Structure 1
Amino acid sequence: MADDTSTDETPVLGQIEEEISETRADLLAVLGRAADAGDGGLPTGALRREAGVPSGSIGYHMDALEAWGLVDVVGREQEGGGDPSKVWALTDRGREFLDRPAAHRLPTREEVRALHDRVDALEDELAELKTAYNQMADIVEDLAEES
C-alpha cells in the first residue's frame, strides 16, 4: 500500500475520503476515465459538462482538488471566446486516490442517473402489473358470482 502521509497543507488520502463531496468525486472520476482513455487532460469546460458541475462552482472544486494534490493544470486550451481554459489532469496522488477501495464505492453521476432511471422503469412496470392484477381479480370475482 502506498504511503498515506501528508504535509501540513495536504490532508492524508484517508481524510480526503471522509471529506470529499459527490461533486469532487465526480470530477475525479471524469478525469480518471479521461486518463484511462489516453487523454492528457480535459479543459475546464469539457470537464464541467461531463461531470455536470455548474460553471460558477467548477473553479472552487478544482482549487480544492488541486490543493489536495489530486489534480494539476497541465496546459491551456481554447474552448470558445475569451481566455484559454485550464486543462486538468490527475496527478499520481489523484490516481492513487482513485485506486483506493473507498473511491470505488463512490458511484459516478452516470451510475446514479442510470439507477434512478431503472427505479422509474420498475415503478412503471409495477403499476402495470397492479392494474392487470386488479383486472384479473375482477374477472375472477365475476366468474365466481356467475357460478
Structure 2
Amino acid sequence: MGFGGFLHLDFSHNYPEFLAQLVLNFDAVGMKFKLDRNRSINVKAADVHMVYGIPSGGKEIVDAKNSNEDYKEVLNSYKRYHGGVLSNNVNKLVSKLALVESPLDDDWKRNFLVLVVNCCIKSIQNQQPYLRFLHTAIDVNRISEYDWCSYTM
C-alpha cells in the first residue's frame, strides 16, 4: 500500500515540550514552522514523504461526493466489514484491526488506511472517521498510486 513508513515512526514520549512548541509554532495556512528572528521553515510534500514515508506522486486525491460510484461501492464494503453500519469511532477500528484472527484481506487494508488517514493525515477531534478519500481504495493494490503527501499537506 505504500504506508510501511508508519510502522517505523518513533514518536518519542520524552519530549512533550518540544512537540508542543512545534504545534504552537506551525502556520497551517502558510505551511511553515515559525522560528525566532522572523525566520521560518517551509514544509513541502517531499518533507511529508521523508517523515512519513508515504507515496508522494501520482494521482491527486480529491474527496469524493456521495454520487461517486467508486465511493459508494467501497463505502458499502466498509459498512459490511463493520456489520452493516458505518463504524462511528476510530477506537473501534483499532480494536478490530488488532485482532489476531482478523484476516489481512482487502477490507483490513482499507480499514488500516482509514485509521492512518484519520490519526496521522486528516486528524480531527471528532471520533467519527473521515471517509471521503476511501474511493482511492476501491482497488487496494493501487492505493500507492495516489499522492498521499500532497493530500496530507
Query: TM class by shorter-chain length?
Result: under 0.3
**Given the two structures, how large is their TM-score scaled by the length of structure 2?**
0.25
Q: Based on CA coordinates, which of the two structures has the bigger radius of gyration?
A: 1
TM-score normalised over the length of structure 1: 0.25
1 or 2, which has the higher helix percentage?
A: 1
Q: With CA pairs under 8 Å and 6+ residues apart, which has the higher RCO, 1 or 2?
A: 2
